């Protein structure tokens, strides 16, 4: 039987995104070459929300992109299923931009490795920082860490973290399932 434990409510997700938006504003002048790029699926929705929060507080209009990394994954040779490639949409040059890459969960680091490779197809950023809603500690396979973290969660082998966003799932929340 699969157990599910809620670790963030919709209100906690909202407050966490609010705090993360303030952290980005503290570290960057939003008008100075800053851009947000969300990793498809849930990272893209989180990036859209962060853009709204930062734009409202910073009085700017941040460039926003969405990145599909499926073609850049290194594990498709080990899977029986072929990748479902979705659209990437980065309607601006990344050259010399400070990019905040947004994802829902940082686990092994392999998704972020693929995203960094994919970003280079759109230009050469000045700097790339990583923002994740959940940092799932203890399972990293690559030396990748987030610059902005909503919540750190320790999980056991066999457990995984599910992030739900209202745009795709009808509600916001985070659960540990295992």
pLDDT score at 139 = 80
C-alpha distances in Å from residue 56, one per residue of 2, 30, 129: 41, 11, 21
- At residue 81, does pLDDT exceed 60? no
- Give the residue extent of every domain in the chain: 4-26+33-76+83-177
Q: Where are the beta strands (DSSP E) in the chain?
A: 4-8, 34-39, 64-67, 98-106, 127-137, 148-154, 160-164, 173-177
Over residues 149-167, the pLDDT tens digits come to: 999 999 988 899 999 999 9
The answer to whether the CB of 152 falls within 8 A of the CB of 8 is no
Distance CA 12, CA 49 (A): 14
Region 4-26+33-76+83-177: CATH code: 3.40.50.2020
Eight-state DSSP code of residue 93:
-
Residue 151, Cα to own-chain centre: how many angstroms?
Answer: 13
Helix (H, G, I), strand (E, B) or coil at 136: strand
- At residue 169, does pLDDT exceed 60? yes
Min mean pLDDT across 29-33, 52-56, 155-159 is at 29-33
pLDDT score at 73 = 61
- pTM for the complete prediction? 0.92
Closest CA to 103 of 161, 154, 143: 161
């Amino acid at each position: 039987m699969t157990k599910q434990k809620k670790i963030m409510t919709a209100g906690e997700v909202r407050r966490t995104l609010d705090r993360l938006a303030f952290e980005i504003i503290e570290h960057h002048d939003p008008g100075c070459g800053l851009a947000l790029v969300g990793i498809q699926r849930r990272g893209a929705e989180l990036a859209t929300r962060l853009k709204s929060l930062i734009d409202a507080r910073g009085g700017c209009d941040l460039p926003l992109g969405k990145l599909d990394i499926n073609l850049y994954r290194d594990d498709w040779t080990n899977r029986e299923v072929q990748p479902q490639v979705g659209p990437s949409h980065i309607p601006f040059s990344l050259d010399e931009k400070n990019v905040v890459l947004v994802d829902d969960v940082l686990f092994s680091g392999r998704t972020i490795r693929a995203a960094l490779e994919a970003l280079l197809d759109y230009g050469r950023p000045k700097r790339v920082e990583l923002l994740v809603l959940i940092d799932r500690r203890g399972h990293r396979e690559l030396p990748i860490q987030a610059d902005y973290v909503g919540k750190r969660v320790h999980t056991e082998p066999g457990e995984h973290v599910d992030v739900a966003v209202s745009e795709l799932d009808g509600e916001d929340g985070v659960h540990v399932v295992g």
